[in-house]
Structure 1
Amino acid sequence: MDPFEDPRRSPEERADDLLTRLSLEEKVGLMFHTVIETGPEGTLLERPGAISKSATSEVVLGRRMNHFNIHGLESAETAARWHNRLQELAEQTPHGIPVTVSTDPRHGGAQNAGTSWVTSFFSLWPEPLGLGALADPELVEEWAETVRREYAAVGIRAGLHPVADLATEPRWARQRECFGQDPELVAELVRAALAGLRGRDGEAAVQSTVKHFPGAGPQKDGEDAHFPYGRDQIYPGGRFEDHLLPFRVAIADGADAIMPYYGRPVGLTRDGEEIEAVGFGFNRQVLTGLLRGELGFDGVIVSDWELVNDNHVGDQVLPARAWGVEELTPAERMRRILEAWADQFGGEECTELLLDLVREGAIPEQRIDESARRLLLVKFRLGLFDDPYVDESAAAAEVGTEVSRRRGHEVQARSVVVLHDDGEVLPLRTSGGRLRIYAEGLPDEVVTTLGEPVADPADADVALLRLGAPFQPRDDLFLESWFHQGDLEPTPGLAHRLARIRAACPLIVDIDLDRAAVLTTIAPVCDALTGSFGVSAAAWAEAITGVIPPQGRLPIELPRSMAAVRASHEDVPGGTEDPLYPCGHGLEIGPVPDHEG
């Protein structure tokens, strides 16, 4: 055996040995991490996909790439089959470097091609904001252990999570991915998530990627930095250190990788030095000075997606998120990213651009070696060089087991927050299934577990409505339609429509809080009001009937008005004046009556 093939040696020894054997093309290939898609029935896709840019053989064999972010998956068995075929293809490269397959979160109910994937064959849990509502580190570690187990069974060995951002700006579109707004609680839950992904000795670990450094929450006016109008991160309340705290804890706890966000800091001064207003992925003061230097992080820094080139998908275009360096060429942007000391280009496959920079002398090969070594080291620590394959025949039985599905369902129900209960209508008494129910946003199969569906509130004993949090739809740029942005107030007529329903029968309303909402006009016209975080209809039904009593407490505040939101500071946790429901709010409901069973 060559030293890098010897599992008796340390990961450091093996990485050092292999690095000396790699060609420049192989080292450069390690530094790109892009989207990949599967073919039907677990085959390799040998053409561009819906989002992926090239055929699988082109990126693996032609470009020597071996880090890929997987999107849609058909089933556990086909995912495992595809993964093994991908690893077989990688064996054909000069040194057989195994592929690291990564994913955005998959264990919640939110679908967004830029941030998360609903995966029906995995167990489904609340969104991280719902886990924050339960504020239980042991539960978060259990959730992350389940994620690790199910990922590893189908060959996914890197999570593009956990999110360590603070949900301090009520309008921001990515709050559901956060654990909440409180810095210390978020830090504690991130630590628990890292422990679960790491696993115990002898278990297949999943690489963690903590994001989005140094905290993506304080977006100006709540806009998201995926888009040109949301490029600015601001700290008018002077709370930069609050946003940094969860990352400090994650680094101390051994985070494998960290991803900076797209945003650029505006008006940020630290230790008397003004931080340049360029995106964090390009920002040497933030990545080299703060992350590498002050915080001592020596793991992998992977940029967020498409900082170098514009992203063309069909007839839509999303400009490169080169905020503050828009005037630079792609090659100049790439050089800025490397000089800031990132190791990997997210969402890019332009290996020839980096090869040219090295061959022209603009980037020394020693700089490439430093990043390549970090990336190899993670692969060795994961054990991928020793056995990258998975058991295809066992995948379906190991993923989404009855035990993990039931546990995820139970936690979903527990995470529901009772915001308002006028007259103590909760828990809902189903009268032995004889209740007549008018429903919106609930499937019939769930309604029939509670009673008899009716089409008119006038014929109902109770009305059950599940609504999404308000947002303003946008669809001018690629991905924009997936992000719920804009004001937090519901449409003007909603309160009047709800009041008419309530005039006919008692009304229970649930708001799916993928971000904060202004519910000031809604609460007075509901007999009971709940907030949930990616909770299934069946789990919500068991929560409001007390079968699984809801225990959630708001992990974010719900503002009283948009005026209060606009007057608040984006970086301050709990910064709106006199919120309708403060962070930590949540009511208890009584036990299930005996006759309900």
Structure 2
Amino acid sequence: MHVAVDQPRYLNATLPISQRVADLLGRMTLEEKAAQMICVWNEKVTKLLADDGRFCPDRAREHFGHGHGLGQVGRPGDAHGGAPPAEFAELTNEIQRYFIENSRLGIPVAFHDECLHGLVARDATSFPQPIGLASSFHPELVRRVYEVTAREARACGVHQALAPVVDVARDPRWGRVEETFGEDPYLVAELGVAAVRGFQGDREVGAHDRVIGTLKHFAAHGQPESGNNCAPVSISERHLRETFLYPFERCVREGGAMSVMASYNEIDGVPSHANTWLLRRVLREEWAFDGTVVSDYYAIRELWNRPDLYGHHVAANRDEAAALAVTAGVNIELPEPDCYADLADFVRRGVIAEAAIDELVGQLLAHKFELGLFEDPYVDPAAAESLVGCEEHAGVALEAARQTITLLKNDGVLPLQPGKHPTVAVIGPNAHRTMLGGYSGKPKSFVTVLDGVRQAFGADCEVLYAEGCQITIGGGWFEDEVVPSDPETDRRLIAEAVEAAKRADIVILAVGGNEQTSREAWMSNHLGDRTDLDMVGRQNELVDALHATGKPIVSLLFNGRPLAVANLAEKSAALLECWYLGQASGTAVADVLTGKQNPCGKLPITIPRSVGHLPAFYNHRPSARRGYLFDDTTPLFPFGYGLSYTDFELSDPRLDSACIAVGESTQLRVTVTNTGPYAGAQVVQLYIRDMVSTVTRPVRELKGFARVDLASGESREVVLPITPDSLAFWNIDKLFVVEPGEFELMVGFDSQASQSLRLTVSE
């Protein structure tokens, strides 16, 4: 590479990034530094774009003619209904070119976007929601999903993904359960690390197919008080560390995550965006995190007050809110210029030290150098058009959807044989609608359950359809108002469904929730948390009416959170949990129903009997779940549960060494055999309990799993490592240690695993 003699050192790509950052910081004015710590999102419509959604140089000059630059642009492709891939890429190129050519130092902008289960953009590939991906217990598949997502995002000019979500979901009333990998910290950590590696590779973000991953939401967002989104989290430091911080730590240490988003909630009275203990001592000092902390949208303002929502009131004004966030270590304010808009003035007035700004800006600049934006800031619109939503990526989406589907009950009715059922009734409010869940783009196509069944069963089968009832009117994620369905209309639809069922040999029933009944509650007029877990509306009336016909019912649940479905389970011949399956929904369902795909999903979260059974997570303390008057304490379906069309057996487990010293490791070995008639996959799960400890420990904790694909009659040995980390916990002195003594190891196919043996750990 030829370097001009008078070229600034920060433009010399052969120098270490630390030297380039230092050189660039030394050249920047206070205003230029402050500009790197702000972003525009909705404001880009008036500050960067014309009315047709294309870049407008005149508006850019009006608002950014000062030449100080800009840190980030949020969700560049979402304006005016969303741009197709080529236009998306052209837009990011034009915005990028403006800031490089019209700022004094030519510092490029970074673009961030939502990538929860695919890029949130027009034509982008749509995968199952994370709660569904977690059902696969398949880290390699999760990595592939996020590799595809990164590839599509980077092709459009996006550099930072606001994902993965590694919150541990401990309250099903919370509307954001669908965004998580479930209730177990070990599973969340395993899949979180896989997702980070999918986004970033081995921090190979300078490549054209990688993006920065952003861990959300730091921390403890998944157990809000009363299940209300953003509510306080009242837990001890020990519980915080062992449950909620654990996935973040592993994603930082093992996955190399480059960014973290602070959470809206408070912990012990301290909001996360002002929590120096959390963001500096734990994240940066203990875990040696060297990346950036981004604010959640408008969350710095909430340290003071957000009149249309709420305020934490730990700051008296915008100045104090900004100072708290800077002190805690929040590098950039998303999504609009607000509290950080006047950082330069705050420094001049002595509210914030310039050294604090230099530290935070330096980390932001390091990412831009690592992304290669100073050398290669533009993308190819034609390549974006051919790559985004391509056939290869659609294949990954179909595979992920197939692996998600979880069989909860089967009285022998499945798999269906199309020729055996001349007439099939497809019924239900979720049978013929697009269902993607929150933070979704607009894929090129979506296959409904009805479409998938018609395609799979062919022209020789008569497929009848009836809506059955409605859940809500409309039901779109972005529709603020939730309008309950009309009872009179529902009962007319139920009567029509009963007539269809009477004509059919079998009923395929698609029920559950929709994108309004479980979603992020981001405003007081846009809610998604609930006080019960029953199916909304008259869905149970529909179930009862169809059951009364005597026709076998194969039920499909589509939902973003676990639902209390005892009535549905009792009256269905087969029951499958589908969550949200992405663009290949109906095809994947039909493949499972007909046996083309043997279901292999496992529940990543407990399905409780009722809302009164909460909390229902499996890894509870010994004194919990003691009993209820007139009710059972067991879940309707436990964590890790999922059936198959074939049968599996486990041998007696054995240890390489049943006695080890503190600090040593061993391995558990067990042989799994497919004793049934079909090829299939099984997930062998290892749970551990410390029998006597200085503080109470859960009755069992997932500490290892292995997914095994076996042909009929095939056997394979599974080896599960047991390391010091498998046995350690935060002891009475809040030290992460292994205490010597006896440990019970439990192996099986769900969290009720019954095969066990003992491990002795000596000093």
Moved more, 388-397 or 485-494: 485-494
CA distance in 2, matches of 1:465, 1:371: 53
Answer yes or no: is the 8 Å Cα contact 1:425–1:527 preserved in 2: yes
Q: Could you list the per-position Cα deviations for residues 155-180 of structure 1 after superposition, in whole angstroms to 9, with x for gaps in the alignment? A: 11101111111112222211111112
Cα distance change of structure 1 residues 568 and 129 upon mapping to structure 2, 3 Å threshold: closer
Cα distance change of structure 1 residues 59 and 179 upon mapping to structure 2, 3 Å threshold: farther
Q: Which letter does structure 1 place at the counterpart of 2:319?
A: A
User: Does 2:375 align with 1:319?
Assistant: no
1:494 to 530, 536, 539: 539
Q: Could you list the per-position Cα deviations for residues 484-527 of structure 1 after superposition, in whole angstroms to 9, with x for gaps in the alignment? A: 53321224743232121133322122122311211122211212
Structure 1 residue ranges without an equivalent (≥5): 109-116, 226-230, 267-276
Q: Could you list the per-position Cα deviations for residues 233-269 of structure 1 after superposition, in whole angstroms to 9, with x for gaps in the alignment? A: 1227952122111111122132211111110113xxx
Tell me how far 1:587 sits from its aligned partner.
Answer: 0.8
Larger relative contact order (CA 8 Å, sep ≥ 6): 1
What's 2:248 paired with?
Answer: 247
User: Does 2:200 align with 1:203?
Assistant: no
What's 1:79 paired with?
Answer: 88
What's 2:108 paired with?
Answer: 98
Answer yes or no: is the 8 Å Cα contact 1:159–1:207 preserved in 2: yes
Alignment of 1:570-585 (within 5 A): 577-585=633-641
Cα distance change of structure 1 residues 457 and 502 upon mapping to structure 2, 3 Å threshold: same
Answer yes or no: is the 8 Å Cα contact 1:145–1:197 preserved in 2: yes
2:324 to 323, 336, 345: 336
Q: CA RMSD in A?
A: 3.2
CA distance in 1, matches of 2:65, 2:603: 49
Answer yes or no: is the 8 Å Cα contact 2:164–2:213 preserved in 1: yes
Q: Could you list the per-position Cα deviations for residues 287-345 of structure 1 after superposition, in whole angstroms to 9, with x for gaps in the alignment? A: 2232223333232111211124479xxxx97436x4252x6212111111112122111
Q: Which letter does structure 2 place at the counterpart of 1:45?
A: L
Cα distance change of structure 1 residues 59 and 158 upon mapping to structure 2, 3 Å threshold: farther
What's 2:69 paired with?
Answer: 64
Query: TM-score, normalised on structure 1?
Result: 0.85
Between structures 1 and 2, the one with greater helix share: 1
Partner secondary structure for residue 232 of structure 1: coil
Alignment of 1:549-564 (within 5 A): 549-564=598-613
Q: Could you list the per-position Cα deviations for residues 196-242 of structure 1 after superposition, in whole angstroms to 9, with x for gaps in the alignment? A: 212365733311111211231121111100xxxxx211227952122
Moved more, 329-338 or 288-297: 288-297
User: Does 2:380 align with 1:391?
Assistant: yes
Partner secondary structure for residue 140 of structure 1: helix
Query: TM-score, normalised on structure 2?
Result: 0.68
Q: Which letter does structure 2 place at the counterpart of 1:319?
A: L
User: Does 2:412 align with 1:416?
Assistant: no
CA distance in 2, matches of 1:538, 1:39: 38
Instruction: Give the length in aligned residue pairs.
Output: 556
CA distance in 1, matches of 2:45, 2:252: 37
What's 2:190 paired with?
Answer: 188
Alignment of 1:525-536 (within 5 A): 525-535=571-581, 536=585
CA distance in 1, matches of 2:366, 2:414: 54
What's 1:463 paired with?
Answer: 507
Structure exhibiting the larger radius of gyration computed from Cα positions: 2
Answer yes or no: is the 8 Å Cα contact 1:164–1:178 preserved in 2: yes
Partner secondary structure for residue 95 of structure 1: coil
Cα distance change of structure 1 residues 285 and 408 upon mapping to structure 2, 3 Å threshold: same
Partner secondary structure for residue 260 of structure 2: strand
1:279 to 252, 266, 271: 271
User: Does 2:374 align with 1:407?
Assistant: no
1:133 to 122, 132, 135: 135
Q: Which letter does structure 2 place at the counterpart of 1:33?
A: C
Tell me how far 1:29 sits from its aligned partner.
Answer: 1.1
What's 2:592 paired with?
Answer: 543
What's 1:345 paired with?
Answer: 333
Tell me how far 1:445 sits from its aligned partner.
Answer: 3.0
User: Does 2:570 align with 1:524?
Assistant: yes
User: Does 2:370 align with 1:366?
Assistant: no
Answer yes or no: is the 8 Å Cα contact 1:419–1:581 preserved in 2: yes
Tell me how far 1:15 sits from its aligned partner.
Answer: 1.3
1:483 to 524, 528, 540: 528
Partner secondary structure for residue 208 of structure 1: strand
2:260 to 228, 235, 258: 258
Partner secondary structure for residue 436 of structure 1: strand
User: Does 2:297 align with 1:295?
Assistant: no
Give the fraction of aligned pairs with identical amino acids, expressed as a percent.
29
Q: Could you list the per-position Cα deviations for residues 427-458 of structure 1 after superposition, in whole angstroms to 9, with x for gaps in the alignment? A: 12222884332322223533422343325222
Structure 2 residue ranges without an equivalent (≥5): 1-6, 433-449, 467-499, 626-632, 647-676, 680-763
Tell me how far 1:477 sits from its aligned partner.
Answer: 6.9
